[in-house]
Amino acid sequence: MMKIFVFMLCCGFVLNCQSQSQTVKIQDPQNEKDYFVGKWKFIGETYKDGEVNKEYPLKKCMKQYTLLFEKEKENMFFTKNFVSGENCEIKSSSRRNLLTIKGSSLQYMDGDLKESKQFKIISKNKFSIMYSDIMFGKVTDIEDIYERQ
């Protein structure tokens, strides 16, 4: 009987020690929406060419693209702001989109299409959006990087 008790006690210690392993978590899910609130500037784009990650050379006007995240009550909205033209004088914006954040996914309606893109928090002031698109005639994994303004 004593051997069984000692064995059970040892098993309990092992299980308790394993449950104390630490995981690194960048952002508390409760505050993820608050993380995005504000204006974010587009600072870079990388894409996968085979097994190699390459940086896409940004054109002058692309460096002025921004995302604006706004929180109203419990809802999160975002607007894409673009600049174009020879001297980047033409400014345009998407409509204000209702945004849903689920895990590491941003979900919103773009016109009549439901978009779902993955995001990664890089630091307090930098995050990226990952998606696939056609680049150079083939489907390519792309990562757009944004920095808080």
Provide CB contacts within 8 A for 56, sequence distance 6+.
44, 45, 46, 47, 142
Beta pairing partners, 52 = 49
Over the stretch 97-126, which tens digit does the pLDDT of each residue have?
A: 999 999 999 999 988 999 999 999 999 999
Domain ranges of the chain: 31-148
Over the stretch 4-36, which tens digit does the pLDDT of each residue have?
A: 444 444 444 444 444 443 333 444 444 666 999
pTM of the model: 0.76
Lowest mean pLDDT among 14-23, 25-34, 58-67, 130-139: 14-23
| DSSP states of 7-65 | HHHHHHHHHHHHTT-----SS-GGGHHHHH-EEEEEEEEEEEETTEEEEPPPPTGGGG-
Per CATH, the homologous superfamily of domain 31-148 is Calycin beta-barrel core domain (2.40.128.20)
d(CA 109, CA 85) in angstroms, rounded, equals 27
SS (H, E, C) 80-140: EEEEECCCCCEEEECCCEEEEEECCEEEEEECCEEEEEEEEEEECCEEEEEEEEEECCEEE
